[in-house]
Amino acid sequence: MKHTISIIVENRFGAFDRIATMFSGKGFNIQSISIGETEVKDLSRMTIVTSGDEVIIQQIIKQLNRLIDTIKVVDLTESDRTERELMLISLNYQKGSLEEIKNICDIFRGNIVDINNRSVMIEITGPPAKMDAAVNVFAQYGIKEVARSGTVALKRGEQIKLPVKNQV
């Protein structure tokens, strides 16, 4: 089963490599990986989409926790979460097809971010499944290149009760 794991790591030389080395050394699979800064200066958030049975996922989480540079590991799979991916897709277009492409782009709520007389680049964000769908639809025009960011995910708004004085 597919699992989305969110990891807070030290934003430090080698921290990413340690995680990647662990995955390859233990033979765990990685479907996508993304890493970026967080609200805290010296911490990064890594989102890894992986798959395996319950025992393997438990091992992955324990092995991640065991690394000294990882601060927090959360399997978001069972939680209410938002997952997003960014895709840049570059297409060929012929005379007359641009309008059609523009319409499909709108359906996917994408933006045309670059255009010349032969090709057009579209930016689409959304859940990973939407990227797959967009790639399928745009395939008819001839895809030149695709770049996908990998999944980023956050747990959705925890229902925290604010202290009364902060309420409006």
Partner 1 sequence: MKKSGSKLSGAAIFFESLKQENVEVIFGIPGGATIKIYEELYDIDFLTHILAKHEQGATHMAEGYARSTGKVGVALVTSGPGATNTVTGIANAYMDSSPIVVFTGQVPTALIGNDAFQEADIVGITRPITKHNFLVRDVKDLAETIKKAFFIASTGRPGPVVVDLPKDVIADTHTFDYSGKVEIRGYKPNYSGHKNQIKKAANAIQKAKRPLLYVGGGVIMSDAAKELTELARKNNIPVTMTLQGLGAFPGNDKLSLGMLGMHGMFWANMAVNNCDVLVALGARFDDRVTGDIDSFASKAYKIHVDIDPTAIEKNVLVDLPIVGDVKHIMSELSEEIKEVPDRTKWLKQIEGWRKQCPLTYKTDDGILRTAYVIEKISEKTKGNAVVISDVGQHQMWIAQFFKFTQPRTHLSSGGLGTMGFGLPAAIGVSMGIKDKPIISISGDGGFQMNIQELITAVAYKRPIKIFIINNSFLGMVRQWQELFHEEKYSFTDLSEANPDFVRVGKALGIPSYAASSMEEADKYIDKALEMTDGPVLVEFRVLKEDMVFPMVPSGASISDMMIKRHNPIRMV
The binding site for partner 1 (CB under 8 A) comprises: 9-10, 13-14, 17-18, 21-22, 25, 55, 58-59, 62-63, 65-71
144: left (phi over 0), alpha (psi -120 to 50) or beta: alpha
Looking at beta carbons only, is 57 or 152 nearer to partner 1? 57
Looking at beta carbons only, is 21 or 82 nearer to partner 1? 21
The amino acid sitting at 32 is: S
118, two tokens? 């032969």
14: left (phi over 0), alpha (psi -120 to 50) or beta: left
Looking at beta carbons only, is 41 or 95 nearer to partner 1? 41
Residues 6+ apart with CB under 8 A from 51: 1, 2, 3, 29, 31
In the bound complex, what is the minimum distance in angstroms from residue 27's beta carbon to partner 1? 12
109, two tokens? 């709520």
Looking at beta carbons only, is 35 or 121 nearer to partner 1? 35
In the bound complex, what is the minimum distance in angstroms from residue 40's beta carbon to partner 1? 11
In the bound complex, what is the minimum distance in angstroms from residue 69's beta carbon to partner 1? 6
